[in-house]
Homo-oligomer: A and B are copies of this chain.
Amino acid sequence: MSTEENGESVTARGTRRGKSPATIYDIAKLAGVNPSTVSRALSKPGRINVKTEERIHAAAKELNYRLNPMARALPTGRTNTLGLLLADITNPMFFNVVRGAERAASLGGYTLILAESQESGEREAEAAERILPSVDGLVLVTTRLVDQEILELAERKPLVVINREVDGVDGIVPDLEPGINQALTHLAELGHTRVAFLSGPANSWMSCARWEILLANAPERGMSIVEIGPGSPTLDGGRDTLSRVVASGVTAVLAYNDLMAIGLMRAAQESGLTVPGQLSIVGFDDIFGSDFTSPQLSTIRTPLGLIGERAIRRTLELIDEDSGGVPRGISNVPLPTELVVRGSTGRITD
């Protein structure tokens, strides 16, 4: 009619791909209304006459219309995207966190952006900086950032941290007590009186937290407890503690995580020690593969999937509050850890 029919315009993008996707303007033309009416029909149900709304929906379907998220994000400032920042994608601890997060996000109509810091605080800050502009909120999983950096991020966008507690920032942390107490009781019942804790990285908030609870609860069961570490939270990290474990004279070990537990178990078996005959081992987290070993690993399960889910839900709440929603109290269903008894714990038989 006016300038051009826009049939097969050779303009700009879509160089060799099929026609560029339909816009609300196309719909408007087809339905004979104003673009703004289309926008309202599509995003404000009820604002528009039912009859017109139907017509618009029909046109939209006919043109196979998809809303352009960028175009919406620009004026509204909301991207419907959440960022998940992990220390190390290949650490199995994260698998379930990611899955839980993905579920919660997609349930809420949000998309997940993933970034990895490769265990480096610097790279993490960089990654956060990079994705921050395109997300509505951010979840940090076992972050390597210092409190100050975390606070600064939290000031810019809704932010939730997993496995860490920072004053003034929402943190999702499992309830460590139940699992640890069950483990302690379990070991006590098996007759162990001297146990060790294999601690993780020196700067790990989680490792400290676990150690402190052990420290607070072991004595009342008549058990002595020693810390061995800090160590790298890996198979080798666990393996390397063997000599110190043997030297310490303990009969049972709780490890910072399953990887260390498995590493220690392997080293022990290779050196002729039987598990659990001569040494009982308890892991932490119940990661994928912790039941592959012989004996299968007894471990304190962390509800990682739930944690991921909760973190996202909390982030969504924060976003909501930010845009004027009621600051409804955080859903405080507990996230208890729990002992999973398998084969790596038992009485001393030797």
**A residues at B contact (CB < 8 Å):** 12-18, 21, 66-71, 73-74, 76-79, 81, 84, 89-90, 92, 95-96, 98-99, 102, 106, 111-116, 127, 129-134, 155-157, 262, 288-290, 292-294, 322-324
Q: How far is the CA of A263 from the CA of B101 in the complex (A)?
A: 28
When C-beta atoms are compared, the residue in chain B nearest to A158 turns out to be B17
Q: How far is the CA of A69 from the CA of B74 in the complex (A)?
A: 9
Evaluate contact between B111 and A112: CB separation under 8 angstroms.
no
In-complex Cβ contact of A157 among B15, B17, B68, B114 (8 A)? B17
When C-beta atoms are compared, the residue in chain B nearest to A155 turns out to be B18
In the A-B complex, the 7 residue pairs with the smallest Cβ-Cβ separation, listed nearest first, are A289-B289, A292-B292, A294-B294, A13-B77, A70-B73, A114-B114, A70-B70
Evaluate contact between A133 and B89: CB separation under 8 angstroms.
no
A and B contact pairs by CB, cutoff 8 A, 24 listed: A13-B77, A13-B78, A15-B323, A15-B324, A17-B157, A18-B155, A18-B156, A66-B132, A70-B74, A74-B74, A90-B95, A90-B99, A95-B95, A102-B114, A102-B116, A106-B115, A106-B116, A111-B115, A112-B115, A289-B289, A289-B292, A292-B293, A293-B293, A294-B294
**Inside 8 A of A18's CB, which chain B residues have their CB?**
155-156
Evaluate contact between B89 and A92: CB separation under 8 angstroms.
no
Q: How far is the CA of A292 from the CA of B261 in the complex (A)?
A: 11
Q: How far is the CA of A106 from the CA of B13 in the complex (A)?
A: 24
**Inside 8 A of A114's CB, which chain B residues have their CB?**
84, 98, 102, 112-114
